[in-house]
Structure 1
Amino acid sequence: MEDQSFSKSMTYAPGLPEDATFYSAHKKRVTSEAVERAAEKALAERGVRIDDIAEIVFDLQKPFMSGLTKALCVENVRAVLAKRELQHAILVGIELDRFAEKKMLSEPLQSLIDQDEGLFGVDETIALGAVSSFGSIAATTFGYLDKVKPKIIGKVDLAKGGRVNTFLDDLIASIAADASSRLAHRVRDDEEKRAAQSHRK
């Protein structure tokens, strides 16, 4: 059988705009910037803004950080959204929520996701997987947020009108937990640098 010569029509990502892809080793690959934009767009289309998540981070860290600003919380939310693991989790989870809304999944998966079955833990598993790179603080914070469901997490969890947000609420908790952990570590690093500089004087 003859090898076909490579052409741009032979791709793994048909339909994407040219600036969202690049060619490497005879494959059309999606750029990290395109995936990041898609993940943020997917959240926005489900009614979740960066500021909504930053509010949760602010509430979590305010008791421990004097002078904390919402802008700093937004900065850390955006920083964790730049992580591929989290982007992929967002895209997969939200897509499954959308398919469940449209009754496009086979049974019994359709009913498990549609009803957010209590023993169905794949939503938490995906969200926890995205938390793992931010350490134990992120994992314990995720558990707290998953239980308490503050602000936008609770809002999407209780959404009516046929909305399915089985994965979305856990994904938001994951993002907030990651950003909170990142912020806590950065603040500690800054404190240690200042202490070291003061000691040298």
Structure 2
Amino acid sequence: MQYATYDNTIKKLAQHHITVKDIAQIAFDNEQSYVAGLTLEQVAEAVESILHKRVVQHQVWVGLELDRLAEEHLLEAPLQDLVEHDDGLFGVDETIGTAIAMSFDTIGVTNYGYIDKLKVGLVGELDRKGKTSEAVTTFADDIVGALAAAAASKVAHKFAAGMVENESGIKN
């Protein structure tokens, strides 16, 4: 079976109005105070690198497909209700998010928890959209947050030697 995995992933994200730049912006905001001179372009490269990982692509596809199927009311009960209403005890969306975030060590999981809790940027927009419209974004918001967390972690690992001091003189 031959398919263009990266291009397919970008296409599926775009169908949900998700861009590499949107994801990179969240990761950039997360890391800019720790990495002097960090650019949005550097972070976008980290996002693209993560999206080239086959396991991440598969996780993105599964999550976005479940959102699509729920939006079209094609899942069987009780899964339809759980996904459609983003049930707080469902947790499979966070499980996929955590798996994506783990692409770059445990710092990815920490970043993901922070981004998911605060509903930063597009994560918050998708979360609100899923609660206030007919759109189903149960997996989309977690995927975006996890990709941003993984990218922030990749940036942190790459630029660890260049970490900046905070007001107390402690390196972050």
Would you call these one fold, judging by a TM-score over 0.5? yes
Considering Cα pairs closer than 8 Å and 6+ residues apart, tell me whether 1 or 2 has the greater RCO. Answer: 2
Query: 1:165 maps to what in 2?
Result: 137
Query: 1:143 maps to what in 2?
Result: 113
- Note the alpha carbon deviations across 1:4-53, whole angstroms, 9 max, x for none: xxxxxxxxxxxxxxxxxxxxxxxxx234xx11111111111101111111
What TM-score does the superposition give when structure 1 sets the normalisation length? 0.77
**Equivalent-residue separation in structure 1 for 2:151 and 2:102 (angstroms):** 12
Following TM superposition, the consecutive aligned residue runs of length 4 or more in structure 1 with deviations greater than 4 angstroms are none
RMSD: 1.4
Q: How does 1:110-125 map to 2 (within 5 A)?
A: 110-125=80-95
Q: How does 1:45-194 map to 2 (within 5 A)?
A: 45-159=15-129, 160-188=132-160, 191=162
Paired residue secondary structure (1:105): coil
What TM-score does the superposition give when structure 2 sets the normalisation length? 0.90
In structure 2, what residue type is equivalent to 1:179?
Answer: A
In structure 1, what residue type is equivalent to 2:150?
Answer: D
Identical positions, percent: 41
- Note the alpha carbon deviations across 1:67-113, whole angstroms, 9 max, x for none: 11111111111111111111001100000000000000000100000
Alignment of 1:30 onto 2:6: no
**Equivalent-residue separation in structure 1 for 2:9 and 2:125 (angstroms):** 20
Number of residue pairs matched? 161
Q: Please list every run of 5 or more consecutive structure 1 residues that lacks an aligned counterpart in the other structure.
A: 1-28, 192-201
- Note the alpha carbon deviations across 1:154-178, whole angstroms, 9 max, x for none: 1111114310000000000110011
Query: 2:170 maps to what in 1?
Result: none
In structure 1, what residue type is equivalent to 2:107?
Answer: I
* CA radius of gyration, larger in: 1
**Equivalent-residue separation in structure 2 for 1:121 and 1:136 (angstroms):** 19
Counterpart among 25, 41, 44 of residue 11 in structure 2:
41
